[in-house]
Chain A
Amino acid sequence: GDSVTQMEGPVTLSEEAFLTINCTYTATGYPSLFWYVQYPGEGLQLLLKATKADDKGSNKGFEATYRKETTSFHLEKGSVQVSDSAVYFCALETQGGSEKLVFGKGTKLTVNP
C-alpha cells in the first residue's frame, strides 16, 4: 500500500541554520504531496503542497519540490527561526476520491536562539 518515510528526529538547529527534512514515498500513480506542521499546543495545519511532478510548494520560507524520479518531497528552509520549532509531517493523498492522507511518522524540530 501507499506509504511515506521521513527523516527520523529529533532535529536541533541554531537560529538561521539551513534545514532539510527528507521525505520519500511509495504510491500507486502520482499522488499529491503535502507537508503539515504541528506547533506546540495546536492542531495540525497545512504548510505546503504540490500536486504534480516538478511542482514546488512554498510557504513561510519553506519549500519542497515534487521529484517523481526519486519519489521524494524534501522540506527545506534557508534560515530557520525559533518560531519554526514544531513537528513536521510529510503526507500523500491516496488516489480514489476520499482525499485520504497517509502520513509519515513526523520529525520534531527544535530551533535554539
Chain B
Amino acid sequence: GAGVSQTPSNKVTEKGKYVELRCDPISGHTALYWYRQSLGQGPEFLIYFQGTGAADDSGLPNDRFFAVRPEGSVSTLKIQRTERGDSAVYLCASSLTSSTGELFFGEGSRLTVL
C-alpha cells in the first residue's frame, strides 16, 4: 500500500492478557517509530528502529513492552500482562532517514484493556 498500515485498528482485551500490534511501514522507509497517544494528549514516543535494530527505546514505559523489526520492514509491538492504564491509541510512523522530522503516520491501533 501507499501509506503506513496498522493492524488491528481496534483491540479489546482483558487485564493480564498478551497483545501484539502490527505496523507495515511505507516501502523503502528505514526508520520506524512507535508512539502512544492517550485521550486528550499528544503522541508520546516509545521506540525508534533504524533498520532491524532498536536505536532508541527510551520511551518504553516498563519491561512489559517490547518491539521487534526482524527484517527491517514490518514491526510488532508486544505488550505482556496488559493493564487498564495501557489503554490508548498506539501509533506507528515511518520515515526516510534523510527527511528531518517528516514522519508518515498510520491511523493507529486503539487498545482497550478491560
The chain A residue with its CB closest to the CB of B42 is A103
What separation, in Å, do the CA atoms of A41 and B4 have in the docked complex?
Answer: 14
Tell me the residues in window 75-99 of chain B with beta carbons closer than 8 Å to chain A beta carbons.
Answer: 91, 93, 95, 97
Contact (Cβ within 8 A) A32 B42: no
Interface presence of A100 (CB below 8 A): yes
Does B102 sit at the interface, judged by CB under 8 A? Answer: yes
Partner of A43, one of B31, B33, B59, B106: B106
Looking at chain B, what size class is its interface with the partner chain? 20 to 34
Point out the residues of chain B lying under 8 angstroms from A32, CB to CB: 100-101
Are A43 and B4 neighbours in the complex by a CB distance under 8 Å? yes
Q: Which chain A residues border B107 with CB–CB below 8 Å? A: 41-43
Residue on A with the closest CB to B45?
A100
Please report which residues of chain A, range 30-55, place their CB below 8 angstroms from some CB of chain B when the two chains form the complex.
Answer: 32, 34, 41-46, 49, 51
Q: How far apart sit A97 and B98, CA to CA, in the bound complex (Å)?
A: 11
CB neighbours (8 Å) of B48 from chain A are 98-100
Question: With a CB–CB cut-off of 8 A, which chain A residues contact B95?
Answer: 99
